[in-house]
Amino acid sequence: MSSQPVNAAVSADESARSAAGAGPSLVEPEKVVVDGVVREVTVPPLAPRVTSGSLGDIPFVNAAEAPSEAVLSRKRPDGTWRDVTASEFAREVNNVAKGLIALGLEAGDRIAIMARTTYEWTLLDFAGWAAGLVTVPIYPTSSTAQARYILQHSGARGCAVENVEQARMLSAERGALPLLDHLWQLDAAALSHIAEEGKALGDGVAEERRALIGPDDVATLIYTSGTTGQPKGCVLTHGNFFAEVDNDIELLHPVFKSVSKDPAATLLFLPLSHVFGRMVGVACMRARVRLGHAPSIQTEELLADLAGFRPTFLLGIPYVLEKVYNTGRATAEKMGRASSFDRAARIARRYGEAVEEQEHGRGGGPGTGLKAARGLYDVLVYRRIRAALGGRCRYVISGGSPLGPRLAAFYEGAGISVFEGYGLTETTGASTCTPPLKPRLGTVGWPMPGTSARIADDGEVLLKGPHVFSGYWDSRSRTAVPDVGADGWFATGDIGALDADGYLTITGRKKDLIITSGGKNIAPAPLEDWLRAHPLVSQCLVIGDNRPYITALITLEPDGLAHWQQMHKKQDLAPQQLVEDGELRQNLQQAVDEANRMVSRAESIRTFAVLPQDFTEERGHLTPSLKLRRAAIVKDYEAEIAKLYRG
């Protein structure tokens, strides 16, 4: 085998755009080619490595440099938003940090946070860091056993919960949590009470504690929700976060630094228990982007918060973007304008694809006719899509699972650029991201600046960089047990490929690969992701391991199903009648047929079962981050699966 490095280069066009204020020049990746195939890609860092200080310093740096700048907003009871300045937030952080110190918490002690996405979550997170503590997120939907395990394993000395129900749940477990000295209830003014404890201490106490913490110290333990077994505590340092967010900010210049008349702002609605939301929240504080919190993702409440806050960018998972698209389509159908919406969608996709071709130098961009058509549908359709996201949103950072080229092209054509990324808890969030000015639909982009990606011989994606974690938490030694190879590469467990230009595509999880009885290797994720984008489909599990052909279990999306029932005048059908309804199955069969066009016959779904119940976290079928627990689903639906392979 032979390999050759390909040197980095910056195009003149990109340099011109940079000079015009579009942000730093894009540095193309250095590639290692083995026998004509790109096997490794490295992108040089855009930000210098931080060598001193911690995340707990960020509020105080902001207050010193821009005391009157709005860094957060809090929602008032009447639904309006009140800005919080950098100096005001630093004062709150300092007061709570002093209270934590006064309560006897020592540097390196762990405190847990079990709450939805709220201002108090972010305040306690930064106050904990300012006090030299290690914060431990717990999903607010966690069961008693899950929360107890994380508190026991992390050795948490304190835990903040959101409400009285969670407080009662954990109070009943105090006998099994001998290290848990403090249980705080956020909606009962817990942070004010903590701050009160620290009033007798001088401000210098918190400053002295902050001075003890550096980039190599542990910032947080984030427990992976894992699809099998007990979760593992990923040990992430302050330096891991700095490497991640500083390069994010420089790479995604239009997002975090805003080149429009509207100051950059985002409304965070994804859980802060997950590394994705947490990383972007830290990046916003670091870049002084105005940050708001939306605790509810119920459609009506979230739309109201978006309308009131009016973010310039959002971070989301493909489900949210699918929901916005499908809701727009359903609304058009109710108004008798479904065909008009479908034409608008086709125009948007063509426009987005033309923009991509132009940015890669393979075309002249959208033609006059396409621009005119887009202008027409901007008034009729696209403006409504943007209005659903608050009206000012022009960028979305998407992660968690692949978005797919169709929706990515649609949103680009509708005036919203989607930066799709890929990463894990172990990599402090994104390890790859769509590069501005050079998107490639259907991929998760290039490695983040300062990151290397490699494809192993078996197709597994390996990652290296200063954002990669220290290891998994060992409850006995209270330290990280390294899980990175001696050469610094972390094995992700994901299967992927690098194209000739260094763009990464993820095809599935290594452990999820299906091997049929005929020996065919199949990654289920592309089929599942495609089907999940259909308005009627909530979840899809592709089956076929050690079986002669591929089948699927499909669950129904409640809003899409309600709309379908209304349009087909079948509101009175019971769930069991619906899953057997011929018209409904015909619509789903059309979706399956479309998905099958992406793959060979051996990889295609031959038949499927529609389930009357959705997969939920409560029933043990989804992780808190909404990943499928495949083994649990297969076990619970053995009978339904067996029917798919009869005769």
What three-state secondary structure class fits 122? helix
Strands 313-316 and 395-398: parallel
Q: Which amino acid is at 326?
A: N
CA 524 vs. chain centroid, Å, equals 20
Look-up of token digits 């079986």:
547
Mean pLDDT for the chain overall: 89
Q: Which of 94-98, 410-414, 477-481, 533-537 has the highest mean pLDDT?
A: 94-98
| Domain of residue 533, residue span | 513-644
Cα separation, 621 vs 631, in Å, equals 9
Q: Inter-axis angle of helices 86-102 and 119-130, to 10 degrees?
A: 60
The tokens for 335 are 């108004």
- 447 closest CA partner among 472, 427, 417, 426: 427
Q: Are 548 and 522 in contact (CB under 8 A)?
A: no
Helix (H) or strand (E) holding 329: helix 318-334
Task: Supply φ then ψ for residue 444, to 5 degrees.
Answer: -105, 20
Is 641 or 618 the better-scoring residue by pLDDT?
641
pLDDT-based confidence at residue 230 (cuts at 50, 70, 90): confident
Q: What is the pLDDT of residue 226?
A: 55
Residue 2 has pLDDT above 70, yes or no: no
Is 294 or 530 the better-scoring residue by pLDDT?
294
Is 26 or 298 the better-scoring residue by pLDDT?
298
Tell me, what DSSP letter sits at residue 628? B
What three-state secondary structure class fits 424? strand
Q: Which amino acid is at 318?
A: P
Residue 10 has pLDDT above 60, yes or no: no
Average pLDDT estimate for 527-536: 86
Average pLDDT estimate for 293-304: 87
Average pLDDT estimate for 362-376: 92
Cα separation, 6 vs 500, in Å, equals 11
- 220 closest CA partner among 205, 203, 237, 232: 237
Cα separation, 103 vs 89, in Å, equals 21
Residue 228 lies in a domain: no
Residue 630 lies in a domain: yes
Task: Supply φ then ψ for residue 456, to 5 degrees.
Answer: -70, 170
Residues 260-287 pLDDT 10s: 678 999 999 989 999 999 999 999 999 9
Residues 128-184 pLDDT 10s: 999 999 999 999 988 898 899 999 999 999 999 999 999 999 999 999 999 999 999
Please, which residues have CB within 8 angstroms of residue 502's CB and are 6 or more apart in sequence? Answer: 28, 29, 31, 38, 41, 446, 447
Q: What sign results for the dihedral spanned by CA atoms 353, 355, 356, 361? A: positive
Residues 311-339 pLDDT 10s: 999 988 787 888 888 888 888 888 888 89
Residue 528 lies in a domain: yes
Residue 276 lies in a domain: no
- 473 closest CA partner among 227, 175, 96, 156: 156
Residue 9 has pLDDT above 50, yes or no: no
Window from 163-167, 237-241, 291-295, 509-513 with minimum mean pLDDT: 509-513
Q: What is the pLDDT of residue 647?
A: 58
Residue 377 lies in a domain: no
Domain of 619, CATH number, reads: 3.30.300.30
Strands 158-161 and 182-185: parallel
- Quote the number of domains for the chain: 1
Residue 569 lies in a domain: yes
Residues 547-576 pLDDT 10s: 889 999 999 988 888 889 988 898 888 888
Task: Supply φ then ψ for residue 124, to 5 degrees.
Answer: -70, -35
